[in-house]
């Protein structure tokens, strides 16, 4: 049993009026984010993606176990293999009757189909794996907690970091994703959580014409007096 050790935390306060300015600034930044399926092949420095992974890995996690692995892929042959495997699964989803009608109906406004060219166009793909349990240096199993919640938060922070750099990504979950475990040689304790192709949006990039729920549709308030 290790006893807790505490250290001072004094991040310094943002003055009140600036809190609101910053809230608005960050909203404007994030409100400009779109999931993209039409990417440019222009190169992106690897350091930028690795820094975004480092940012994502600052996410809070159950018992601070950080139950995630980010696999970074720039190799063209591997991207092609990933595209081929993803398209095979998605063809079964869209055309092989694996997606139920209500799901197909929900996706119709987004105009998605089984073609996933972008997986070969992008300079980088990051595949985020959740670690269902950890393995300590001696090879013993280490229990992980709130794995989906922790990895979901890290994924969101990664998306925000990518967007902040002026890059685009897509939270892609070609289902089922077991082919990624195999292609990337990941161990038995890891499961694919999401695949994130990253690059600049194509010059002729189009995105679905959708709106977001207004604040009042997503918040319930108990304000006190």
Q: What residue ranges bind ligand IYR (CB under 6 A)?
A: 90, 93, 107, 110, 112, 172-175
Q: Please, which residue, 93 or 131, has the CB nearer to ligand IYR?
A: 93
Q: Please, which residue, 54 or 110, has the CB nearer to ligand IYR?
A: 110
Interatomic CA distance for residues 165 and 53, integer angstroms = 13
Q: Please, which residue, 36 or 66, has the CB nearer to ligand IYR?
A: 36
- For the bound state, the minimum distance from the C-beta of residue 173 to ligand IYR, rounded and expressed in Å, comes to 5
DSSP conformation class of 59: S
Residue sitting closest to ligand IYR (CB) = 112
CA 33 vs. chain centroid, Å, equals 13
Interatomic CA distance for residues 159 and 167, integer angstroms = 9
- For the bound state, the minimum distance from the C-beta of residue 171 to ligand IYR, rounded and expressed in Å, comes to 8
Q: Please, which residue, 174 or 199, has the CB nearer to ligand IYR?
A: 174
Q: Please, which residue, 114 or 133, has the CB nearer to ligand IYR?
A: 114
Structure tokens of 150?
A: 């922790």
Nearest Cα to Cα of residue 121 among 42, 178, 48, 34: 42
Interatomic CA distance for residues 98 and 75, integer angstroms = 31
CA 178 vs. chain centroid, Å, equals 17
* 31 three-class SS: helix
- For the bound state, the minimum distance from the C-beta of residue 18 to ligand IYR, rounded and expressed in Å, comes to 36
- For the bound state, the minimum distance from the C-beta of residue 147 to ligand IYR, rounded and expressed in Å, comes to 20
User: Do 68 and 129 meet the contact criterion of CB atoms below 8 Å apart?
Assistant: yes
- For the bound state, the minimum distance from the C-beta of residue 116 to ligand IYR, rounded and expressed in Å, comes to 7
Phi, psi of 103 (to 5 degrees): -70, -50
Q: Are strands 133-135 and 141-143 parallel, antiparallel or unpaired?
A: antiparallel
- For the bound state, the minimum distance from the C-beta of residue 104 to ligand IYR, rounded and expressed in Å, comes to 9
User: Do 197 and 167 meet the contact criterion of CB atoms below 8 Å apart?
Assistant: no
Q: Please, which residue, 144 or 172, has the CB nearer to ligand IYR?
A: 172
* 130 three-class SS: strand
């Amino acid at each position: 049993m290790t006893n807790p050790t505490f250290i001072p935390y004094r991040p310094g306060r943002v003055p009140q009026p600036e809190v609101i300015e910053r809230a608005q600034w960050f909203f404007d930044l994030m409100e400009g984010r779109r999931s993209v399926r039409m990417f440019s092949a222009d190169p992106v420095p690897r350091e930028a993606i690795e820094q975004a992974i480092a940012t994502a890995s600052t996410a809070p996690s159950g018992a601070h176990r950080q139950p995630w692995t980010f696999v970074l892929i720039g190799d063209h042959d591997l991207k092609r293999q990933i595209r081929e495997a993803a398209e095979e699964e998605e063809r079964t989803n869209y055309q092989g009757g694996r997606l139920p009608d209500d799901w197909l109906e929900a996706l119709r406004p987004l105009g998605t189909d089984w073609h996933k060219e972008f997986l070969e166009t992008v300079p980088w793909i990051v595949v985020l794996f959740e670690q269902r349990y950890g393995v300590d240096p001696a090879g013993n199993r280490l229990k992980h907690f709130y794995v989906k919640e922790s990895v979901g938060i890290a994924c969101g922070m990664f998306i925000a970091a990518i967007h902040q750099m002026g890059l685009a990504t897509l939270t892609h979950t070609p289902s089922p994703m077991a082919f990624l475990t195999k292609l990337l040689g990941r161990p038995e304790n890891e499961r694919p959580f999401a695949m994130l192709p990253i690059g600049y949006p194509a010059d002729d990039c189009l995105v679905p014409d959708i709106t977001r729920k207004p604040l009042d549709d997503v918040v319930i308030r108990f304000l006190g007096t």
